[in-house]
Structures are given as structure tokens and as C-alpha cells.
């Protein structure tokens, strides 16, 4: 839950990437996020659902990859599944 407390206190704009290392679509999205990290000041937080089951449960994660966009401590967008890199950038533009 330490990671949750870090996220909860964060007032910046960020994306939480819920993933698992055995999930091929998660690996693809993870590569996109490496390219996007820092774009428009957006931070990326990665949460391995196998290691942080409590955090995944808290956010009601039922499928992976799941990206949660947070701005000013509020969830502004949730994306489930594999998303193209250009769509991800468009969502960042739209939500941040």
C-alpha cells in the first residue's frame, strides 16, 4: 500500500500502468509508455498486478493492460487493453 500512498498524495498528472510481466499486450504498451514518459509533463507509474494485488483490487482492475489517467488526484480516463501509440498520445492531449 506504500505505492498507493505515493499515488494518493501526488497532485501531478500521471498514468498508472497496471500490467503483468507474462502479458504480451502489456509489454507492447510498456514500450509505448517508455517513449511517452515525460511527454507534456506526464509521469508513468507501473504496477505489477502479481506483486500489488491489493492495489489492483483497490482500482478494480479486471483486465490488463489497464491505464488510468490521473490529474489533480482525480481519475480522468481509463483505458483497457492494447492501444496504439498514436491513440495513447491523443488521449494524453485530450485529458492533460
Q: Which residues are catalytic?
A: 23, 26
Please state, in angstroms and rounded to a whole number, the distance separating the CA atoms of residues 44 and 46: 6
Helix (H, G, I), strand (E, B) or coil at 18: strand
Say if strands 43-48 and 66-71 run parallel, antiparallel, or are unpaired: unpaired
Amino acid at each position: 500500500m506504500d505505492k498507493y500512498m505515493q499515488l494518493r498524495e501526488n497532485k501531478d498528472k500521471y498514468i498508472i500502468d497496471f500490467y503483468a510481466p507474462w502479458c504480451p499486450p502489456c509489454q507492447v504498451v510498456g514500450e509505448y509508455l517508455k517513449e511517452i514518459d515525460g511527454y507534456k509533463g506526464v509521469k508513468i507509474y507501473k504496477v505489477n498486478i502479481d506483486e500489488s494485488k491489493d492495489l489492483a483490487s483497490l482500482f478494480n482492475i479486471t483486465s490488463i493492460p489497464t491505464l488510468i489517467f490521473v490529474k489533480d488526484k482525480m481519475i480522468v480516463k481509463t483505458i483497457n487493453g492494447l492501444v496504439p501509440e498514436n491513440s495513447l498520445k491523443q488521449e494524453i492531449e485530450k485529458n492533460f
